[in-house]
Chains A and B, each alone.
Chain A
Amino acid sequence: MDDKFQTIGQIIGGGSSRILIREKDGSKLELGGLLVIDDADDQTLILQINDLEYRSLIPQSMHELASGMNLEGLGTNLEFMEPQLRNYIVSRSKAILHLVDGIPRIPKTLPTYFNSVRHITEKDLKFLTKPKNPLYLGDVRSGSKILNLPIYIDASEAIPHHILIPATTGRGKSNLVKVMLWSLLDLDNFGILVLDPHDEYYGRNELCLKDHPNNKNLVYYSPDAPAGTNTLVINIKSILPDHLKEIINFSSAQNDAIYRYYNTFGNEWIIKIVEGVEIQDISFKTLQVLKRKFDNILGVYFDELGQFQSRNNIFSDTAGKTTIKDVINSLEDGKIVVIDTSRLLGDAEMLVGSIITETLFNRYQRYKLEGSLNEKPKIGVVIEEAPRVLGKEVIEAQGHNIYSTIAREGRKFNIGLIAITQLVSLIPRTILANINTKIILGNEMAQERAEIIGSASQDLSDDNRTIASLDKGEAIVSSIFTKFAVPIQIPLFEEYCSEHIKESEHQNSRSKREDKNIAFI
């Protein structure tokens, strides 16, 4: 019999919430591993291992005595006879899917008692087909074994319903986003805005999105733009008071002052504040505080010669008038727009994102009113450290911002968030409930795991240990668009894209050869 179909365990008890399986000696069951029970009448049950524990038919005191004797060098002529029969491992597993004639259903019955259990194979998951707009996430994983079965979600459904990537540092968040963006570059009808605070997605000096065979779909903005890309310059006049209000916490006096300057000077209001132009009823002190705030946050000031200056060269009083419009047009053309915000402080980065997102959101609202929304590409906004804009405290202090608005209402306008965070617990439940795909990477913080589990699309209440034990690159995809919480292995981006490039080159050369042959004939 094929190794894959060998019995690796047997049901010895449990119930609908957890099925107890005795491990066949040497089978090495793993946390998160997927198991299959072939029941009668073409019915198959897929289980996932949530916990493993030692069991023994020998009393614990006997084990302890034996251990003591071993450690102290006594009883060298004693052993546990037939240890494989008497000491064993029991897995607590949960039935996650019931396949009736190959059609997946939620399990409602228990498999036959004492039935044997085997490892999952690609064949068992043949119902996981490639969707129309495939967004590749990784390959199905059973424990640490990787199956030759790629997992895609349909980007046109998943992106407007928002995607959350929760994980602690070093678990492969950036790698996952790179893999996803690479996959999205193959699709023509998705505009993705990426605010890149580490300038890691374009691949200035290494293999990354710029190397994609379909890189015509990639637009890059940076204050230090390589040849052929766009310099990130934003005209200071395109910033409205509302943009800033969403990001920065102003006192009521400062708030009043901002609107007074905006009403007085129109789109030059920031320039006038930074220049120190006084207006009636606004105290000098308030003006000085605002001036200092804009310098700290946006890095803008007037030099000794009375010239407007930007410390990061991103904000200008003259250039960059079309930047926002150009970015939005690119997104509307179904391109991935990566904005290098590595020179911006956090608030300024959010501000840039807000300006673009809000303008885009307004435009898509209009398309919906006009009835042309479905002709437009679906939009995704990648935001790192999402609690900066989606956190409970931020929303309580500053009210809803464009990101939280998108989280709640974006789906109606085909705009979704791809939110990345280490701290899910900071995001309100109401927002988490609106995020319908969660790609859960490893997390050692119990409180964070509890929040993730509580807001998942599938019941992951028994997966606490499994999530804690997820290694780098291992993830669980919990989505309303997947039949079950799918454990995946995200490929290492460099390997994944190298392979993709090779495949693409191979295909190109083959089609060229075929063209030549046709010419010959």
Chain B
Amino acid sequence: MVQKLEFSLGKQLGNPLFNFDDCKSYHLNKKNFHEIKPASPKRKIAFVDGGNQEIFHAPNFSIQVNRVYFSMFRNNERILPKSDIPTKIEFISMVSSEYDKDKKEVFYETSIFPSLNDYQEYLPLEKDLSFSSKERAVMLGMQRYDIERVSSIARRFAEWSFSRHVIQNEMEDDDMIVRDGSLQISFANEDKYSEEAFKAAQKENVYFTGLSKTSHLYTDTGLSLIGSIQEFAEECGIDHDLWCYYPIADRWAPTHKAVIMIAKFNSCSDRIFRFEILREQFQKMDEYAILNVLSSIADNSKDFCFPGYPYGLIDADLRARVRSEELDIYRTLILSEISKKPELLNKFNFHVRATDSHDILNNIAGD
């Protein structure tokens, strides 16, 4: 195995691989390393993240609790919202599958129940969350995706929608918003929400960015792009404390309106991350402006707990995360309501039992 691994990782680094017709990738080149110099940008940075967990699951429905959160920092000091926008919104989403006999297709329909009525304005419309199971984006190869994945779409859309409101209510010229994850969209109707957020950012002159904890990009030799660039930096003797690498690729796809970079945000960190800036904004920025934006992130990436990763995103992850302990509360609440209708409870249990045997085994095993 070790030999196999040695062979596998010993390959040439190769070049960034993007298998899209509308994409041009650039060969790895030492010149693409740029030093991020410490600056003292005074801009406000908003960090947005979301989380969801399934409360009940059956093959034909999924009930989830969703949470989206944002926080803002300036000079690494937390800033409270000046408007009445909540820092956190929560809602329950229920995805159910319906079979259309005429079309011979399974349809997913989503209903949304905000925990407070005031949250409604920040949430996506239910009609935008109905999909055919044959929708390419919700299919895994030729197979339908599990209903649980479909349910996470509501949270994803809510993140875009909430980001827009954050920009419109809280952000000013030269500020910046950082989403957890890529700026790429994957689902039908998602563009409607991402576009609104992008437009709001451009209107307010707020940099719209995304930072991915994980990356599945490859080089054309099959290595991970992140690993290859880190290795390439060593090979090239890059001795900057902080750096970023770009360009990697140009893509004009409507599903991914961002420029990808790889960046190292802290000298004590042994990790580099995929970072994206909205392409239309990037194109208007000179190198100084680009590095200045990256410097803002670097300045927020000094926390001992996770050097090199923005503290704002650590915070957003913690606050947006739906913990397992919370699920029991939601389960009890929902079951107590359902149990008021014994017939419904009976039917509900029939369907839930179709997929919950694994949970019972986990309980027996003490997991």
Which residues of A line the B interface, CB within 8 A? 58, 62, 65-66, 69, 74-75, 77-82, 85
Contacts and interface: CB of A to CB of B under 8 A. Distances in A.
Given A81-B311, A82-B315, 15 more contacts: A58-B304, A58-B305, A69-B304, A77-B266, A78-B266, A78-B303, A78-B304, A79-B302, A79-B303, A79-B304, A80-B305, A81-B300, A81-B302, A81-B303, A82-B311
Nearest to B306: A62
B29 interface: no
Given A82-B78, A82-B311, A74 B304 contact: no
9 contacts: A75-B268, A75-B307, A77-B267, A77-B302, A78-B307, A79-B303, A80-B304, A81-B76, A81-B303
Contacts of B307: 75, 78
Interface in B293-326: 300, 302-305, 307, 311, 315
Contacts of B311: 81-82
Contact of A77 (B78, B268, B300): B268
B304 A62 contact: yes
Contacts of A82: 78, 311, 315
Contacts of A66: 304
A82 B315 CA distance: 10
Interface string B312-343: 00010000000000000000000000000000
A65 B306 CA distance: 12
A258 to B, nearest CB: 79
Of the candidates A65, A74, A81, the one having the most CB atoms from chain B within 10 angstroms of its own CB is: A81
A69 to B, nearest CB: 8
Contacts of A74: 268
Task: Name which of B76, B266, B305, B307 has the most chain A CB atoms within 10 A of its CB.
Answer: B305
Interface of B: 76, 78, 241, 266-268, 300, 302-305, 307, 311, 315
Among B266, B268, B304, B305: residue with most chain A CB under 10 A? B304
Contacts of B305: 58, 62, 80
Given A62-B304, A65-B304, A66-B304, A78 B76 contact: no
Nearest to A84: B78
B139 to A, nearest CB: 40
B89 to A, nearest CB: 21
A400 B329 CA distance: 65
Chain A's interface: helix, strand, loop or mixed, by majority? loop
A-B residue pairs, 10 tightest by C-beta: A81-B311, A66-B304, A81-B303, A75-B268, A78-B304, A78-B302, A79-B302, A62-B305, A80-B304, A78-B307
A223 B315 CA distance: 78
Nearest to A74: B268
Contacts of B266: 77-78
Nearest to B300: A81
A31 B267 CA distance: 42
Residue among A58, A80, A82 with most chain B CB within 10 A: A82
A80 B303 CA distance: 5
A81 B268 CA distance: 16
Nearest to A80: B304
Nearest to A65: B304
A277 B76 CA distance: 97
Nearest to B315: A82
A181 to B, nearest CB: 58
Nearest to A85: B78
A181 B340 CA distance: 73
B78 A78 contact: no
Contacts of A80: 303-305
Contacts of A58: 304-305
B24 to A, nearest CB: 36
A66 B266 CA distance: 15
A58 B305 CA distance: 7
B94 to A, nearest CB: 31
Nearest to B76: A81
Contacts of A65: 304
A85 B307 CA distance: 18
A85 B80 CA distance: 14
A80 B307 CA distance: 10
A66 B306 CA distance: 11
Contacts of A79: 302-304
Nearest to A63: B304
* Most A-side CB within 10 Å, residue of B241, B268, B300, B303: B303
A11 to B, nearest CB: 20
A65 B305 CA distance: 9
Nearest to B78: A82
Contacts of B76: 81
Nearest to A59: B305
A75 B78 contact: no
Nearest to A58: B305
Nearest to A66: B304
B160 to A, nearest CB: 27
A62 B306 CA distance: 10
Contacts of A77: 241, 266-268, 302
A79 B315 CA distance: 15
A85 B315 CA distance: 11
Nearest to A86: B305
Nearest to B71: A82
Nearest to B298: A77
A69 B302 CA distance: 13
Contacts of A75: 268, 304, 307
